[in-house]
Structure formats: C-alpha cells, structure tokens
Amino acid sequence: MEQLTFFKKYFSWNPKTWLTNKLIRLSVIFFGAFLSIFCLSFSPIVANTSANIQFVSPSWIEENIKNPNLKILDVRINPLEYIDGHLPQAVNIADNNFRGPDGFLPVQYWDSEKIVQIFAKAGISNNDKIVVYSDGTNVLGATMVAYLLERSGAKDIAVVDGGYKGYKDANKIVTKEFPRYDLGKFSLKDNPSVRINLKELEPLIGKQGVVIIDPRPADLFEGKTNLWVRNGHIPGAKNIPWPTFTEANNPNEALKNPHKLKSLDDIKQILASRNIKPTDNIIVSCSTGREATLQYVVLKHLLGYPNVRIYEGSWTEYSTTDLPVETGPEKTT
C-alpha cells in the first residue's frame, strides 16, 4: 500500500507538481543507471573454466582422424623421431619450445604473444579438437602442452594414452608424409583458474582442507639430492611421484609402454590411501611445473575433482625464497 501511494504521488499527472515529479523521475533513472554500472564494475571476472581434457585410445584416433576440426600435435623433442614416423596429419612442435627464462627463473612459460604464435604456426585455432601426443616414455610432454592449451583458452583437448609407441603398437596407421595446412587463428584467452602463484600459495600452506601434492622422486622430495639452492619440500606436502599414476611399476606393462595411464579405479584407490578427497583444495607443485601437469589433468579432468591448480613456479621458484622448507620423508598425521 505504501509503495502504491508513492507511485501515485510521484508518477501520476498533476500540473502543479509536474516539474518536481519529472526531476524525481530523472533522478531515479540516473541513480539506477549508476547502480548498474557500479555493480558491473565490481562483478568478479568469470574464469574460462569450461575446457575439457581427456585421454583417448589409438582406436579413438583411428575413428576420428578424418574430422576436419581435428588437429594433432606431435610434441616429441627429437625431430628425427617425427620424421621417422608420426600420426597422419600430425604437426611436430617439441614441448620444450613453450618455455624459457623469464628474466629470473628458467623454464617458465613464454609470454602470451609468443604462445599464440607457436600454436598458430602449428595450425591450431581455439575451436579445434586438439590431440597431443609424445613418445611412450614422455607422457609429461603431452600433458604439459594439454595444460598449456587449457591455460591459453582452448576448450577441447585430448592426450593419446600411451603416446606414439602405444599407437604404433596397436597397429594403427603411421606416416612419414608432412601435412600441408593453413596457419591457425589462435587468440589467447587466459584461464587463471588453473594455476596459483607464490603470493597466493604462501597463506595456504598448512591450512585445513588444503592438500599440496609433490610428484617428484622421493630423493628430491626428502632433500637427499643436492640439486637446488635449498633442498626438500613445501611443509605438509604429500609425496606421490608422478609415475604412480602410470604402468611404470607394472611388470606386465612397463617394458611395453611405461607411461600408459593406470585405470581410474586404481588411481582413486591411491588417492584414498593418502586421504586425498574430491572436496580438498588441491595444489600440485613439482620441480619446474612440468611433472605436475599429469596429476593435474588426471585429478581435474579425468576424475572431476573441482579444485585443482598447479603452482607453476614449483620448487624452481620456492627454493629461492626464505619460506619454510621441510626435509626427510613425508610427515604422517
């Protein structure tokens, strides 16, 4: 009733009060416009989180190879391996081309402009279905590039499980022909939700519900190997060496294809045994940010854990600070 009285008073026609009412109406309109702009200015930026990374089989490649939107990246480091044989239509761009010094730290991702140029020269556009593979003993090269694609705004990404060796051993078609292709139209759309920096990491160390996974070998984790400025690990980190997620220790598979992924059920059991839950705030930190990408892809994309990020600086950066360091085996609670 009070609202109705207000509108009758200020928005109905009355010659005596027309000018006053008009000024009030204009004030209401301008205030509403200002409020809208204010709210938009302070709305949170929505991260580009709709990307999908999957592991695909050699048979999947065979079934989808003729898809015109399918682009294949061979990220093996030795170009002679590519020349000797590769998947049909694959373009070779070695995974170590995506990183270099940043003015202080080594092996950091290049700036946006250079990343865009590399992907575009490889024929990649944002809306392509992008498949990445390396050899059978370098799954990290493939997962690193897959992670970088997601980080850069690509949406539909896949890693060939078992790499080139697994594909070839499955008796699928390989070729020595170099593909002819147009340059891609790749525009970088940064996805900050996939990573965390040192400033953001520091207040999370030791917090309840935060799990830091360190996928390095035990000797590096424990500080036994004198490799870094300081040796050891971030306090409270859990050591799950990245080969734990692969068939590297399976005597029936290791000699054939050590970097083929374990079953997701097996990986779930590994995580459960370490008390790592889907609800945890998970940060993966390794030596240079490369090893972390395998566990990131598995946890976030294959298992669907919603809160997984990579500390890209990893031990390369952390070891240069004066932040706390632990040595020795992982502490159990």
Query: What are the helix (H) ranges across 69-217?
Result: 79-84, 112-121, 139-152, 163-169, 198-201
Query: Which strands form 90-92's sheet, in the order they lie side by side?
Result: 52-56, 156-160, 129-133, 70-74, 90-92
> For this structure, is 286 an active site residue?
yes
Cα(43)–Cα(10) distance, rounded to whole angstroms? 32
Half-sphere exposure of 176 (CA within 13 A, CB side): 4
274 to 59, 261, 308: CA distances (angstroms): 34, 19, 16
Shortest CA distance to 214 belongs to which of 105, 306, 316, 295?
Answer: 295
Cα(279)–Cα(210) distance, rounded to whole angstroms? 10
112 in Cβ contact with 190 (< 8 Å): yes
From the list 286, 292, 298, 299, the catalytic residue is: 286
6 to 9, 10, 17, 183, 274: CA distances (angstroms): 5, 6, 14, 63, 64
Active-site amino acid positions: 286
